[in-house]
């Protein structure tokens, strides 16, 4: 699931159409506050967030999400290039900064990369959890076997 956060209805609609055409499920939010207020803010595979929004800018949204332990990859889109934007974005936990108007091709390249990274992280977490259960099970078995040897 890809979440798009932009206060411009036309941009939100356009990005939704673009991403759905590429096969992604998309949910849109009209503001950063709308996303922060959502109970599903942790459920996205990738966030596409506009930089300049009236209520809460994209960098502040990214910072707040990271404080809430939302580790979802964030792609920041902007029509206002700034020399320092990449550094600011990186410190806010943003994965990519994409410039309008050449957004479409770059976004289609970045979103699958971000989704793949989430899949790898989830896969690694599942693997580590399984390995931990196996290790725990083995440790219990060894302790039981030692107890049996001590008694016998």
What is the DSSP secondary structure assignment for residue 27, as one 8-state letter?
A: E
Contact call for residues 122 and 101 (beta carbons, < 8 A): no
pTM (2 decimals)?
Answer: 0.76
Residue ranges of domains in the chain, CATH in brackets: 2-116 (3.40.50.2300)
Q: What is the mean pLDDT of each run of 10 residues along the chain (152 residues)?
A: 95 95 95 93 91 93 93 91 85 88 85 77 55 51 56 62
Half-sphere exposure of 6 (CA within 13 A, CB side): 21
What pLDDT is stored for residue 102 in this prediction? Answer: 78
The DSSP line for 60-95 is HHHHHHHHTT----EEEEESS--TTHHHHHHHTT-S
């Amino acid at each position: 699931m890809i979440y798009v956060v932009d206060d411009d209805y036309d941009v939100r609609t356009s990005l939704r159409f673009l991403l759905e055409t590429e096969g992604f499920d998309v949910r849109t939010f009209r503001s950063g506050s709308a996303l922060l207020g959502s109970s599903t803010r942790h459920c996205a595979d990738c966030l596409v967030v506009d930089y300049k929004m009236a209520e809460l800018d994209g960098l502040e949204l990214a910072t707040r999400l990271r404080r809430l332990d939302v580790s979802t990859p964030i792609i920041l889109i902007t029509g206002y290039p700034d020399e320092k934007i990449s550094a600011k974005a990186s410190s806010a936990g943003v994965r990519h900064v994409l410039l309008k108007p050449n957004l479409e091709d770059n976004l289609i390249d970045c979103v699958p990369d971000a989704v793949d990274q989430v899949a790898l992280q989830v896969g690694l977490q599942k693997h580590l959890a399984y390995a931990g259960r196996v290790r725990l099970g083995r440790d219990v078995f060894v302790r039981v076997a030692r107890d049996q040897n001590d008694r016998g």
